[in-house]
Amino acid sequence: MTTVIKDGTIVTHELTYTADVLIENGVIAAIGAGLQGDQVIDAAGCLIMPGGIDPHTHLEMPFMGTFSIDDFESGTRAALAGGTTMVVDFALPAPGQSLLDALALWSNKTARAHCDYSFHMAITWWGQQVFDEMAEITARGITSFKHFMAYKGSLMVNDDELFASFRRIADLGGLAMVHAENGDIVAEMSAKLLADGVTGPEGHAFSRPTQVEGEATNRAIMIADMAGVPLYVVHTSCEESHEAIRRARQSGKRVWGEPLIQHLVLDDSEYLHPDWDHAARRVMSPPFRGKQHQDSLWAGLAAGSLSCVATDHCAFSTAQKRFGLGDFTKIPNGTGGLEDRMPLLWTYGVGTGRLTPSEFVAATSTNAAKVLNCYPQKGAVAVGSDADLVIWDPKATKVITASAQQSASDFNVFEGITVTGLPRMTLSRGVIAYAEGKVLAAESHGAFVPRKANPDVNRALSAWKAVSNPRAVLRAELPATGV
Ligand code: DUC
Ligand code: ZN
Ligand code: ZN
Ligand code: ZN
């Protein structure tokens, strides 16, 4: 059966034009005028854009003594309802655990996924086994490796491990990723705040100031440069981190920054709310920041110094958040956003004139597909690409509320916000996956998207080389003084 989408306006990361889209066998078969198909979708008054890609989610993640509440079933349902057709989650080995075992564990979680997904592999410890298994992980289509510079005592890796892993990734032609916060200093500041009697959610924000993020981002960039590996900095939340990324990019380093929709829309005044539940529900790392940091992130999206808007979707219930009553370090870190990412970015970005529709497409889909090396299979409206499309009604409006959301959580940090710009329909590989408020794609429709390593493109312009004969190199670089 063929499907044709008629009378819509196609918006890609670079073009806006009117044409029909013909879909056959799950891919885009033709784009042009007067196309015919067995099934006709009317997109009058709507935009046809690449389905969103959320490059950063944590579904059913074991974390801080519990599991994030959305699994691959409810999480991918939320994704489709919000116009997102692919999520990239994290396989997370426990320290000492085989990467292949962790991948098997995470792959088993995806049986009921409604939309496509891929994985990043987390490097939570270092040793010969990890070094060896990274090659097989890459061969299986997982070419990005995430490192936590925070969460001391559990997920955190130290600089020597970071450097070793980055060098290995460079050899494999992969992408290094970091959660950039200085975990030693966060641990120190948390302990001090608790000792001083600060136990509420505001302590979480004060224990992780922007400096700890700026420092770690700078450090990761320098280590990546020495290792000759491209670097993706997840949840860039503040000017200090953004500034480091901007400077690196200007000097020719391949570094990408990822702001979250939460940091773009919500600020740190949330932590001073008198209701403990309200503030605790918004505890995540990095925490929400002041308005000047939001302005920096928005500017970065428009200027291209920041690349992909993600969610870090890691939802918990109020009951789970209450594990941290009396001790903010025990509040599970994380917030949701999968269903709301695209409507919020449209509302606060395109709706205010801060972003063009094409910049919106780049930030929500195409840039992620390119950086993660699955473009143009994903992230494109082009002949031969997967028919992962969102039919976007720029005039549709709703008030965000937990009572109507797909997420399994009992709250929504964006509760009460009115968004204008919503998916009317979401297609996943040509299947109508969401329409008229209902998720229609079958459980198990979602498929794993393997990604290729790309050693030619993924080379940083490192100025530093590990050499076998440093004296000879130094001599060659010295001016001819006869020394
Ligand atoms: N930050 C969060 O808030 N949750 C999940 C992991 C992370 O880094
Ligand atoms: Zn993180
Ligand atoms: Zn994360
Ligand atoms: Zn379902």
- Encode 237-298 in three state secondary structure: CCHHHHHHHHHHHHCCCCEEECCEHHHHHCEHHHHHCCCHHHHHHCCCCCCCECHHHHHHHH
Residues 6+ apart with CB under 8 A from 365: 13, 49, 50, 51, 52, 53, 378, 379
333 CB within 6 A, ligand 1:
yes
Least confident residue range of 284-293, 319-328, 333-342, 467-476 = 467-476
Mean pLDDT of the 124-147 span = 98
Which residues contact residue 196 at a Cβ distance below 8 angstroms, ignoring those fewer than 6 apart?
A: none
Q: The CATH number of the domain where 434 resides is what?
A: 3.20.20.140
State which residues have CB under 5 angstroms from ligand 4, the bound ion: 73, 443
Q: Give me the pLDDT at residue 471, please.
A: 78
Separation CA 240–CA 92 (nearest Å): 28
pLDDT of residue 461: 58
Q: How far is the CA of 462 from the centre of ligand 3 (A)?
A: 27
Q: Is 178 in the pocket of ligand 1 (CB under 6 A)?
A: no
Residue minimizing CA distance to atom 8 of ligand 1:
285
From residue 313, alpha-carbon distances to 90, 306, 349, 450 in Å are: 11, 19, 20, 21
What pLDDT is recorded for position 258? 99
Angle between the N-to-C axes of helices 291-303 and 239-250, in degrees from 0 to 180, rounded to the nearest 10? 20
Residue with CA nearest ligand 1 atom 5: 334
Residue 281 lies in a domain: yes
Look at residue 481 and tell me if it is in a domain.
Answer: no
Asked if residue 86 belongs to a domain, the reply is yes
ipTM above 0.95, yes or no: yes
C-alpha separations of 145 from 51, 56, 121, 184, 257 in Å: 24, 12, 5, 22, 15
Asked whether residue 469 is assigned to any structural domain, the reply reads no
CA dihedral 11, 12, 14, 15 (to 10 degrees): -40
Structural domain boundaries, residue 454:
48-461
DSSP, collapsed to helix, strand or coil, labels residue 389 as: strand
- Domain-embedded: residue 11: no
Average pLDDT, the chain: 96
pLDDT of res. 483: 45
279 CB near ligand 1 (under 6 Å): no
407 CB within 6 A, ligand 1: no
Average pLDDT over residues 286-299: 98
pLDDT given for residue 358 in this prediction:
98
pLDDT at 480 over 90: no
What's the pLDDT score for residue 460? 56
Q: Determine the Cα–Cα distance for residues 307 and 310; give it in Å rounded to an integer.
A: 10
Contact 165 CB / ligand 1 (< 6 Å)? no
Asked whether residue 4 is assigned to any structural domain, the reply reads: no
Residue nearest to atom 7 of ligand 1 (CA): 285
Domain count across the chain = 1
Ligand in nearest proximity to the CA of 413: 1
Q: How far apart are CA 30 and CA 21, in angstroms?
A: 6
Contact 258, 56 (CB under 8 A): yes
Q: Does residue 16 lie within any of the structural domains?
A: no
Express each pLDDT in 419-475 by its tens digit.
999 999 999 999 999 999 999 999 999 999 999 998 665 565 555 565 667 777 677
The pLDDT value given to residue 470: 74
Place of tokens 């925070």: 150
pLDDT tens-digit series, residues 364-399: 999 999 999 999 999 999 999 999 999 999 999 999
216-256 residue pLDDT tens: 999 999 999 999 999 999 999 999 999 999 999 998 899 99
What Rg do the C-alpha atoms of the chain give, in angstroms? Answer: 22
User: For the residues 15-28, what does the mean pLDDT come to?
Assistant: 98
Return the residue matching tokens 């709310």: 273
Is 47's pLDDT higher than 80? yes
For residue 233, tell me if it sits in a domain: yes
Condensed to tens digits (0 to 9), the pLDDT of residues 71-118 reads 999 999 999 999 999 999 999 999 999 999 999 999 999 999 999 999
284 lines ligand 1 (CB under 6 A): yes
